[in-house]
Amino acid sequence: MTKKVAIVGAGIVGATAAYQLSKKGIEVTVFDAGMGQATKAAAGIICPWLSQRRNKDWYQLVSHGAAYYPQLMDQLREDGVSELPYEQVGAYIFKHTAKQLAKVEEMAVERRVDAPMIGEVRALTPEDVARVIPGWSNPDGALYCSGGGRVDGELLVSLLLEQAEKNGARVVREKVTLEAVDEEVRVRLGEEVQVFDAVVLSSGAWVKELIEPLGYYVDVRPQKGQLIELTLETTEDTSKWPVCMLHGEIDILPFPDGKILVGATHENTQGFDLVPDEELLNGMYEEACASLPSLKNAKRSGVRVGTRAYTSDFLPFFGEVPNTTNAFVASGLGSSGLTSGVWIGECLARMAAGEEVGFSVEKYTPQNYVRKV
């Protein structure tokens, strides 16, 4: 008998899980209400090795995610997808002083022993950067990492769901709620209650409102993120420009055909608000223009606003929902969700299929964040 799996939430985690489960011949139903997805407002830099966050468990997760991207792209290529949303274009990380740059370079070289995907690492002057990105005027030096990449998260999610549907998955664009019968979690859509062998809860910051009615406390809170889409009229091949991680929170992500993303904000007090904040957007834009003045002539083609989820200790969690026999959950990915989310989705797919995960998941157990009350 074919195994039936429900996935509630079709961001990067849910879409990856749906894709991988559909490839295993499992009957997959994806439910997504389409509200405020974090993936849509994620800048999309895949370069975790240069982060100075000290949490080793977080680093292990994001480095696995970065290493998983080429494998995922190979799978999509085999499925006949020609325009892939991820590319290793290299990354520049900017620091104000030579001492700060040297510290990051030392860390990158050290980490490359266990993560050869980091590739070439070298310090650059502002003039070196300007030779690659014409008109660059940021006075800071940069560290170049050839293994850094960029991903269009919105396109990736769309492609994963499209391929999952080709494999027989159903995508239902409706809001659902959960019910529990003994320790089995079921999905309610309108008046209909549906039973599944496994239920994967991957609705980001909305996991809290999904699970709490079943009698749980959930350590997840929302964080608003906004980014700007620009179109730069240029004869330069922007598809080959590295991603730029400026000092502070602003990143500049060049894509083909002059498309540039600038972002993203990290707003912890705005709850689930999805209204663009022009003051913050203009501040980001001005900061980006200070580094690349040609952006002053770019056309603003769009704004993306989404809601990230984060936990009290800023570590993601995923695995079995405590006191249930068939439910799995992931949340708290924060602002590195596009990096860790593909790997978490892969792990959840293995769990829901009843397979060995092949990764040490104990440190990310939901028991630390989801508990019965």
Amino acid, single-letter form, for residue 51: S
* pLDDT of 197: 98
On whether both 216 and 248 belong to a single domain, the answer is: no
On whether both 241 and 304 belong to a single domain, the answer is: yes
On whether both 331 and 271 belong to a single domain, the answer is: no
Distance CA(320)–CA(250), nearest Å, equals 35
Report the pLDDT averaged over residues 356-370.
Answer: 95
Residue 1 has pLDDT above 80, yes or no: no
Residues 6+ apart with CB under 8 A from 70: 88, 117
* pLDDT of 229: 95
H or E stretch covering 246? none
Which of 310, 339, 356 represents a domain boundary (last residue)? 310
CATH number of the CATH domain containing 286: 3.30.9.10
Segment 110-160, tens digit of pLDDT: 999 999 999 999 999 999 999 999 999 999 999 999 999 999 998 999 999
* pLDDT of 53: 79
* pLDDT of 20: 98
Residue 191 has pLDDT above 80, yes or no: yes
* pLDDT of 247: 81
CA torsion sign for 205, 210, 212, 218 is negative
Distance CA(38)–CA(218), nearest Å, equals 18
Q: Is the peptide bond before 264 cis (omega within 30 degrees of 0)?
A: yes
- Closest C-alpha to 167, from 85, 83, 82, 75: 75
Residue 12 has pLDDT above 70, yes or no: yes
Contact 304, 352 (CB under 8 A): no
Amino acid, single-letter form, for residue 145: C
Residue 49 has pLDDT above 70, yes or no: yes
Residue 34 has pLDDT above 90, yes or no: no
Distance CA(69)–CA(88), nearest Å, equals 10
Segment 81-100, tens digit of pLDDT: 999 999 999 999 999 898 99
H or E stretch covering 301? strand 299-310
User: 297 in a domain, yes or no?
Assistant: yes
256 secondary structure, DSSP code: G
- Which 3-state string (H, E, C) describes 85-132? CEECCCEEEEECCHHHHHHHHHHHHHHCCCCHHHCCEEEECHHHHHHH
Strand partners, 201: 8, 329
Which of 286, 310, 334 represents a domain boundary (last residue)? 310
Provide the number of structural domains found in the chain: 2
On whether both 227 and 304 belong to a single domain, the answer is: yes
Distance CA(123)–CA(161), nearest Å, equals 40
Segment 333-346, tens digit of pLDDT: 998 999 999 999 99
* pLDDT of 40: 72
Which of 310, 341, 364 represents a domain boundary (last residue)? 310
User: 21 in a domain, yes or no?
Assistant: yes
Q: Which two tokens stand for residue 6?
A: 């429900």
Segment 210-260, tens digit of pLDDT: 999 999 999 999 999 999 999 999 999 999 999 999 987 789 999 999 999
Please spell the DSSP secondary structure of 3-70, one letter per residue.
-EEEEE--SHHHHHHHHHHHHTT-EEEEE----SBGGGG---EE-GGG-----HHHHHHHHHHHHHHH
C-alpha distances out from residue 246 to 264, 268, 287, Å: 12, 21, 9
On whether both 23 and 159 belong to a single domain, the answer is: yes
Q: Which two tokens stand for residue 107?
A: 């860390």
On whether both 143 and 231 belong to a single domain, the answer is: yes
Confidence of residue 36 (pLDDT cuts 50, 70, 90): low
For the chain, give the mean pLDDT: 94
| pTM, full prediction | 0.95
Confidence of residue 201 (pLDDT cuts 50, 70, 90): very high
Distance CA(205)–CA(2), nearest Å, equals 31
H or E stretch covering 177? strand 177-181
The helix/strand count (H/E) of the chain reads as: 8, 22
Q: pLDDT above 90 covers what percent of the chain?
A: 88
On whether both 269 and 284 belong to a single domain, the answer is: yes
Residue 17 has pLDDT above 90, yes or no: yes
Confidence of residue 204 (pLDDT cuts 50, 70, 90): very high
User: 75 in a domain, yes or no?
Assistant: no
* pLDDT of 348: 98
Q: Look at phi and psi of residue 323 and say left if phi exceeds 0, alpha if psi is from -120 to 50, else beta.
A: left
User: 74 in a domain, yes or no?
Assistant: no
Distance CA(79)–CA(19), nearest Å, equals 11
User: 53 in a domain, yes or no?
Assistant: no
C-alpha distances out from residue 89 to 32, 58, 120, 251, 360, Å: 32, 24, 12, 15, 30
* pLDDT of 19: 98
Residues spanned by the domain of 176: 4-40+154-220+313-372
